[in-house]
Structure 1
Amino acid sequence: MPDFVSGPPEFEKQARETALKVIASSLRKGNVVEIDGKLHVVLTATNFHPGKGTPTTQVDLRRISDGNKVSERWKTTEQVERAHVDERAYNFLYEDGEGFHFMEPESYEQVVVSPDVVGDDKVFLEDGISVFLQVHNGVVIALELPQKVTVEVVETEPVVKGQTASSSYKPAMAHNGVRIMVPPHIGVGTKVIINTADLTYVERAKS
């Protein structure tokens, strides 16, 4: 695993000193949490609310020190240590052989993010998109996308006249290659808003 994935020991100490307890259900992709003295980046966080039993939060994480992926399940109201690191908004510029380049809009400071940190989120990195980067000593350890983005449908089944029931969603392909489910009245060329965390349809984008 490349060196830029690892976090230096002093970073682990500093982050622990600024940790904040939050409930598990509030965790989002890109958050940094402490488990057994090690910092982890949240990759996915899903809340389960069974008809009977205790609501739980299933979280997939990447351990910063070695890049290994782990999973945890907590009660939704259980307290989790969320670490506060340097988090700022950056605009995406371009990708090249070095990685993904971002710029801080106020200072014009530029940073390069490794493909390991960006992961599957690269499909959403289009010119000018604003994301939050968690940075320590110039090294980006996590990326957090906007909660919602607009995509254009480039492939789906034809619109069925008179069919508007939202319960019968159909598969579609967005312009960035992401597969989503959309209502039957959504056709090719339509722009829609989706959640980046789980790729679910939110609404038709307003033109």
Structure 2
Amino acid sequence: MISTSDFKRGTKIEFRGEPYEILDFQHVKMGRGSAFVRTKMKGLRTGKIIEETFSSGDKVPKPELEEKEMQYLYKQDNLCYFMDTETYEQVPVTEEQLGDSLKYLKENMNVYILYYKGEAIAVELPNFVELKVAQTEPGFKGDTASGGSKPAILETGASVKV
């Protein structure tokens, strides 16, 4: 069990039978009333973002999540296939479950997949991903009005500023 006073960004809790990750939280102390914690959470299965209020000091269950290291193999239709590095078993994950992470996935990249009750629910990328710039527009000398950065397209198709 996790106390609401121990909430941090990234903490994973079980709420109404589903696993959630806390995106943002705020401890609020009213003048005469009791304190409470206002949270913004993302459902790990569905990706939905909800806001919920907990009484200060409440305890919420911690979800039984299992984390496995996997290797990204390939994408086919709207499924991405990962291979367990220990058993060599292939696991399909939908594009919806990957979300924005799909833009930064490169073949043979090692990632961590979160399992909840035997079902793959989320993919966690490494903190740093090394990708090549596939295309960028030429910068103009003296053009620093826009902060000196320009859009670039990476080898995976993601667009970033460099």
Query: How far apart are residue 73 of structure 1 and its match?
Result: 8.4
5 Å-filtered alignment, 1:128-139, equals: 128-139=108-119
Query: How far apart are residue 138 of structure 1 and its match?
Result: 3.8
Structure 1 pair 63/141, CA: closer, same or farther in 2 (3 Å)?
A: closer
SS in 1 for 2:100: helix
Q: Deviations over 1:52-75 (max 9, x none)?
A: xxxxx98551363xx36124489x
Greater Rg over alpha carbons, structure: 2
**Corresponding residue number in structure 2 for 1:24:** 8
Aligned pair 1:70/2:60, yes or no? no
**Corresponding residue number in structure 2 for 1:200:** none
Q: Deviations over 1:82-118 (max 9, x none)?
A: 5341101100112224822111112223222223212
Structure 1 pair 135/68, CA: closer, same or farther in 2 (3 Å)?
A: closer
Contact 2:47 2:97 in 1 (8 A): no
Percent identity, aligned pairs only, is 27
SS in 1 for 2:131: strand
Contact 1:33 1:80 in 2 (8 A): no
Q: Deviations over 1:115-147 (max 9, x none)?
A: 321223222222111111011454201111111
5 Å-filtered alignment, 1:56-205, equals: 59=40, 61-62=42-43, 64=45, 67=46, 69-72=48-51, 83-97=63-77, 99-160=79-140, 167-182=147-162
The alignment's C-alpha RMSD in Å is: 3.9
Structure 1 pair 63/128, CA: closer, same or farther in 2 (3 Å)?
A: closer
Contact 1:171 1:181 in 2 (8 A): yes
More helix by share: 1
SS in 1 for 2:129: strand
Contact 1:117 1:141 in 2 (8 A): yes
Identify unmatched segments of 5+ residues in structure 2. 26-37
TM-score, reference length from structure 1: 0.53
* Aligned equivalents of 2:68, 2:129: Cα separation in 1: 19
SS in 1 for 2:87: coil
Structure 1 pair 68/145, CA: closer, same or farther in 2 (3 Å)?
A: closer
AA partner of residue 125 (structure 1): L
Identify unmatched segments of 5+ residues in structure 1. 1-16, 48-56, 183-207
Structure 1 pair 115/41, CA: closer, same or farther in 2 (3 Å)?
A: farther
